[in-house]
Chain A
């Protein structure tokens, strides 16, 4: 069964600190992996997308890594800001070019405190 699991379920950090969120998946065949940020009451916003051949991709203070062999991905947030408080969702596509086949993780809820 295609699954995406994320850890931790929730995380609280102090402003300015770094953190790393984890995503493990069993989706096959694998097409691409995305990280979305979702603020409470808002739609998800794409942060990064990686295909099979990409190991790392950065978007400002967000850096995502992908190990397609172990089927693991991480999202590292550097120098956290209060506005980083949100749910971070890992999404895996199992069908190249057919993006309705998205398998969503349940997300990690991040709270950045002053």
Chain B
């Protein structure tokens, strides 16, 4: 499977704990995006990388959230001191800027439940 992969697919944690998610984009894609999606809503943009550079962070990305893409390939999203409001589906997408319309291809998501 050469699509976007995310791990883990599900994560249940207690409030106050730290969690880390991983995203492996399509190999030749230079852009990587993180979104958060709650039930019945469209994905909300969190941040994106072009290669290893983090070019934009949404205001939704509080100081408890940090994302990295150290070698321009996979990315991690860490949430510190989780809160119940962090419960959501976290989606990763990747795209190639040279491919015309720059279509984003999404991974299956990581569903986070904070108890």
Where the two chains meet, the residues of A that have a C-beta atom closer than 8 Å to any C-beta of B are: 32, 34, 41-46, 49, 51, 89, 91, 97, 99-100, 102, 104-107
Contact = CB atoms under 8 A, between A and B. Distances in A.
Interface stretch (B11-19, B59-67, B102-110): B102-110
Contacts of A49: 101, 103
Interface in B42-82: 42-43, 45, 48, 55-56
A43 B42 contact: no
A41 B111 contact: yes
B113 to A, nearest CB: 13
Interface residues of B, number: 27
Given A104-B43, A105-B42, A43 B101 contact: no
Contact of B103 (A46, A89, A106, A107): A46
A32 B41 CA distance: 21
B111 A107 contact: no
B1 to A, nearest CB: 13
Contacts, number: 48
A104 B42 contact: yes
A91 B101 CA distance: 13
A8 to B, nearest CB: 14
Contacts of A89: 42
Contacts of A45: 106
B45 A100 contact: yes
Contacts of A43: 4, 91-93, 106-109
Given A99-B95, A106-B41, A106-B42, 8 more contacts: A43-B91, A43-B107, A44-B106, A46-B103, A99-B31, A99-B102, A102-B45, A106-B40
A100 B97 CA distance: 12
